[in-house]
Amino acid sequence: MRALFKAAPGPGLEMVERPDPVAGPDEVVIRVLRTGICGTDLHIRRWDDWADSAIAAPLIPGHEFYGEVVEVGPLVHDIEIGDRVSGEGHIVCGTCRNCRAGRRQMCIRTIGLGLQRDGAFAEYLSLPATNVWVHHADVPPELGAIFDPLGNAVHTALMFPLVGEDVLVTGCGPIGLMAIAVARHAGARFITATDISAPRLEMARRMGANEIVDVSQAQVSDAQRKLGMREGFDVGFEMSGAATALPTMIDNMNHGGRIAMLGLPSTGFAIDWGKLVTHMLTIRGVYGREMFETWNAMGAMLQTSATLRDAIGRVVADVLPARDWERGFAAAESAGTGKIILDWTEL
The conformation of residue 21, written as its DSSP 8-state character, comes to P
The conformation of residue 187, written as its DSSP 8-state character, comes to T
Partners of residue 111 on adjacent β-strands: 91
Q: Three-class SS of residue 230? A: coil
Cα 245 to Cα 112, 205, 258, 317: the distances in Å are 27, 19, 15, 25
Quick one: how many helices (H) and strands (E) in the chain?
13, 17
The residues that are catalytic are 40, 43
Q: Are strands 64-72 and 27-36 parallel, antiparallel or unpaired?
A: antiparallel
The answer to whether residues 87 and 65 touch, using CB atoms and an 8 Å cutoff, is yes
If phi > 0 it is left, if psi is from -120 to 50 it is alpha, else beta; for residue 142 that is alpha
Q: HSE (CB half, 13 Å, CA atoms) of 9?
A: 10
d(CA 139, CA 144): 6
Amino acid found at 180 = I
Partners of residue 343 on adjacent β-strands: 34, 321
Amino acid found at 204 = A
